[in-house]
Structure 1
């Protein structure tokens, strides 16, 4: 099955990813996670360039958690995996950096490496990582049944964090005066912000990278940012590039309206005849996903970038043929069957590496995040990718009607405060090229809620380790994060002395 590039994942995101591996970040794959971390592609022999250690010296354990923290009569439990990286921890009273897991298996490299690890080293801090319930190894073999998925929610995960916070303090013999900072990116970034806002007595501050804290069913803004990013010269885009992309997709739409669907099927070599409207929508989603992924995970090196490379491919006399070549360069037909996609969503087979069924369930029950291409927007792609297409996921995969999706999105925003939350000591970090910034906090708010908004940077770019070749805006952003976190730790020490 061809990996679909529907990025309906807050970011569902793949933070720090260079290649689209699925909802991933990118180029989201129908059967993959959209979150392949950046350093997953770094050769061990190159670690010195990033001042990384090829031996993170971490270990994992399991904590038994209630399946439902809010109903003591539910007698169900699961084992949740956590990671401990204590190589920088100077003493039992030094700070703790709590790394929140996302909608995927949480691996040691993600916890042990990155900008947060560099800050931990500078401050002698302990690094802990908690895998998200129902992902990776933190679930049961029955965990993908609908009867069990009802316990999968952001609220339950925040309660998991609270229990783990108390457990870890005792398990590791902490002094009880440690200053805790919670860190996360993409959906996990939203969780890190919400943990600080909902449990301010348990963590002192939060760094929320590319955090889509405003739930939205019809996320039109995603593809509007994609269009703006492909027009931005700072990442080697241009208005001419956008015009070429529009031209290519417009020809497909014109051919479809003219009854030339069979020719589209032949040109793009799809396995289905696409007479089923949802098959054509799946095809449209797959085709645009390449561009969405490039924007979300744009990677700049020297005088080239992911966006710039695609622009070079599209700025040709016949952009339609460029799309044909891009979509299916091989001889095997491309599966665009919507029914096959629903089989993926309804597959309840236990697999630690799977995430699609769980994550899309969360989008249907809490967040939406559906990247549409409505006609009244600046979207460059095909208008067939509409809200009804995503609602068909929810109905076909989980028997959740559209009215329930909309109701739960509204509740999520009421519960957390959307992009106008109230609280203290949260840094919202975003980049102008990342489409998810449209759902984040982009300006300072009262009581110390800070925004670090970097020009020309992509999804969770700040979370990667410091790179001497990083763009100036990214370097400045990381320095600002370090300055704020250092200030929090100093303030916490002063408060302890005055108690």
Structure 2
């Protein structure tokens, strides 16, 4: 068992008991704040950094012991963990970032601009069945699933319908940032439809997270069946039974897009699966690969930058362990309210998400970032303006992510907001079936503190969290994973897998074409679903070529479809 102590040499813990019938019980107002903090625990910004100078983590059978940085007045620590039998549990980072770190007084540095003017849609709701797969009375319960529609460019009953398979968050986030669909709809005379994933945003069944009985309907198979039912109903209402459907998605949405084509080929005739780590599960990919790719991103820019980042954690540990060191951190980092315990989490959050969104042009998906932000962080470390000490270099590096526009008066700490409506749902999914083990281990050569991968501990931590045994092999059994080349050759067609190798999730992606119609587009300089972003005048030629290839492939699919269906 990992035993650590906080700077006050106190062992502080908060204990909650859960079982399968009372998971995330929100019925008691007195427990609401604690449960909300539990739901926030997995967030990528405080993924796994915990050292013996800062916190104590423990697990008793059937009892979850939580060390909550999100209760800073009670626990001065930066260890965000749910422990399993002898180790920490980390859930995989997820792109719809919670932006849990507050901007701080005067902030506007992370402000997200409004979507481009062409993003216009009508909001609709579809009465969706809770359970598509059995006839138990409870299965007939319904909920309202939200979806967004733009028919401005639609060419009529035989024209294409482009559907976005909603990921783990509010659907507006994806509608506002999937520029590829908006920019190509006029060319293909396509209708655009963005479908919100069940249990996210406004698409909530009754008592969605009150206990495991209701939360148990949050699965990938139910979500795909939702998409299928909604698409069929939409086409029927439009009398557009012959309209071809192409499904798009990025990240988890890209996984859903690929699986949708595999499981419902009679409903969708093609899929664009961008940055979709369908091979990120146990036994299919290296459990250290996610953080290794991030480390290599920084090392490729500068060996010195890589070395400074590796040494920064011990420097932070040393400073956090003494009053004098904490005072130095307060002065160097200009933390709001002196919340220096948040610094390791802030740093790790920045490094992970800068690597994922290492785009070749300025972006504002997660926060305001310059072009090639990994390069900019290394430049800040290699060419500091406020001192040559390691901590001064790290402070300047963090400013690239949190204060690129210069609008923040101080660095914020962990906040409680969930602006994209995804925390509780992703916690559940990542511990029941979406056990993406490729992001759980940290090797000794990483820029992050090493953490050996232990599959038993991962499963034990997940079981303690949900009260249910995880199903780590279900995705592979249901959709295929082992021997993926032959699986897809035999069972699938018309899928584009895009991966940018700067993106750590690419290590779990399909990186080689499998057939003439299952095509891998791989770009060494690409970031996380960069192909789906709105185009800009500054886009490099390789990115323009990727999008042109995708459009040519989709056009070929449509020509073949219309030929086979004898539609003029």
Q: TM-score scaled to structure 2, two decimals?
A: 0.69
Match of 1:348 in 2: none
CA distance in 1, matches of 2:93, 2:271: 18
Counterparts of 1:49-448 in structure 2, within 5 Å, are 54=117, 56-73=119-136, 74=138, 75-107=140-172, 110=175, 114-146=179-211, 147-174=213-240, 176-216=241-281, 219-232=287-300, 237-252=301-316, 255=318, 260=321, 268=329, 284-301=344-361, 305-315=372-382, 316=384, 317-323=388-394, 334=413, 353-369=420-436, 371-376=439-444, 378-383=445-450, 394-395=462-463, 397-400=465-468, 404-405=469-470, 408-418=471-481, 420=484, 421-422=487-488, 423-446=492-515, 448=517
The structure-2 alpha-carbon separation of the partners of 1:326 and 1:197, relative to structure 1 and needing over 3 Å to count, comes to same
Question: Contact 1:11/1:436 (CA < 8 Å) preserved in 2?
Answer: no
C-alpha deviations, 1:440-480, integer Å up to 9, x for none?
10100136211011121211111112222112221111111
CA distance in 2, matches of 1:286, 1:385: 22
Question: Contact 1:249/1:320 (CA < 8 Å) preserved in 2?
Answer: no
Root-mean-square deviation (CA), in Å? 3.8
1:135 Cα offset (Å): 0.4
CA distance in 1, matches of 2:159, 2:216: 38
Match of 2:555 in 1: 486
Counterparts of 1:27-66 in structure 2, within 5 Å, are 29=100, 41-42=112-113, 47=116, 54=117, 56-66=119-129
C-alpha deviations, 1:87-140, integer Å up to 9, x for none?
010111111111111111112871696112222210111111211000011113
Question: Contact 2:163/2:246 (CA < 8 Å) preserved in 1?
Answer: yes
CA distance in 1, matches of 2:322, 2:493: 55
Question: Contact 1:268/1:324 (CA < 8 Å) preserved in 2?
Answer: no
1:216 Cα offset (Å): 2.7
Matched position secondary structure for 1:206: strand
Match of 2:65 in 1: none
CA distance in 1, matches of 2:252, 2:95: 7
1:187 Cα offset (Å): 0.3
C-alpha deviations, 1:61-99, integer Å up to 9, x for none?
211111111122123211111121100101111111111
More moved, 316-325 vs 434-443: 316-325
The structure-2 alpha-carbon separation of the partners of 1:118 and 1:4, relative to structure 1 and needing over 3 Å to count, comes to closer
Matched position secondary structure for 2:472: helix
* Runs of 5+ unmatched residues, structure 2: 1-36, 48-89, 104-110, 363-369, 400-407
C-alpha deviations, 1:41-79, integer Å up to 9, x for none?
4457xx5xxxxxx25442122111111111221232111
C-alpha deviations, 1:369-416, integer Å up to 9, x for none?
36345344x31111259669866863554234xxx33xx222212221
CA distance in 2, matches of 1:325, 1:468: 29
CA distance in 2, matches of 1:325, 1:118: 37
CA distance in 2, matches of 1:356, 1:283: 22
1:485 Cα offset (Å): 0.6
Q: TM-score scaled to structure 1, two decimals?
A: 0.77
Matched position secondary structure for 1:81: strand
Matched position secondary structure for 2:547: helix
Question: Contact 1:215/1:409 (CA < 8 Å) preserved in 2?
Answer: no
Match of 2:61 in 1: none
1:366 Cα offset (Å): 1.2
Instruction: Mark the structure with the bigger radius of gyration.
Output: 2
CA distance in 1, matches of 2:398, 2:323: 16
Correspondence 1:458 to 2:514: no
Match of 2:94 in 1: 12
Question: Contact 1:135/1:352 (CA < 8 Å) preserved in 2?
Answer: no
